[in-house]
Chain A
């Protein structure tokens, strides 16, 4: 069984202050909105819980049906928070599983920096991908999509207020 090790970094400017962007990762209701609750045919969130503190865990589980056959199934995310500097960085490890089988383990660093009245978000994933994994390119694409959802969730919050 081979393990593939790969890394990527994504930078995204978000039109919200660093405190607000940081809260999108720490507030359970807000995190759930952009991280696991997605609209679309065949998407069903089964459960989600966040205990945001060093040593705390996050758990998400969802079903995807209306997607390509390699991704159709039950997906689970298990996270352990390893280092938190309020407003500046979050370091965590997470696994992804599909239909009960863990197919990747990753170390993730998320850094927040004030930039031009908004926030520069820098996300670096260092991953170990096992047999049957989605692989680095799809993982990176998934995170780009999620960061778009994060920006939308924050914009909606501001509108609602």
Chain B
């Protein structure tokens, strides 16, 4: 089957400083809270090694069957401005998509503008690209909604 290619960009403004948003984008505990592709799905971080060349692994999907295995490789981490990484999504050994993601954070008054650029290679047809876009859209909406909770002092 031929590979389908697609790209999309999402831009959001968050009412926190770039350093704070950076932490929420990068830290595994925060990502587990906001990063699932829908409100019905879960994201479980299994491994995390956030540094250039480091790898993460998480599972996501329905709570009773988080079947999607997502492997991340970090390529560039310029805190708090730019991050670039790939995500490979598979079910067991069957690869579905591979994507290159870049975060671009720019201070905007007392907040931060975040641009997320995603380039997707889909091995499951063009729907794989649309699924990625809706997943990222949902995740960023959740990040915005959960900001107060994520920033609340522990305990």
Contacts and interface: CB of A to CB of B under 8 A. Distances in A.
Interface of A: 1-3, 5, 7, 9, 55, 78, 80, 82-83, 89, 91, 93, 95, 102, 105-107, 109, 111, 124, 126-128, 130
13 contacts: A2-B104, A3-B102, A5-B119, A55-B71, A80-B73, A91-B98, A107-B100, A109-B3, A111-B2, A126-B119, A127-B119, A128-B84, A130-B84
Interface stretch (B61-69, B75-83, B132-140, B146-154): B75-83
A28 B52 CA distance: 25
B7 interface: yes
Interface string B86-130: 101000000100111010100000000001010101010000000
Interface residues of B, number: 29
Nearest to B100: A107
Interface of A, helix, strand, loop or mixed by DSSP: strand
A107 B98 contact: yes
Given A105-B76, A107-B121, A83 B82 contact: no
A11 B57 CA distance: 34
A83 B98 contact: yes
A107 B5 CA distance: 11
Nearest to A5: B117
A40 B2 CA distance: 37
A138 to B, nearest CB: 19
B71 to A, nearest CB: 8
Given A3-B117, A93-B75, A124-B3, A105 B102 contact: yes
B87 to A, nearest CB: 9
Contacts of A9: 5
B121 A91 contact: yes
Nearest to B78: A1
A107 B123 CA distance: 14
B100 A93 contact: yes
A130 B82 CA distance: 9
Contacts of A130: 76, 82, 84
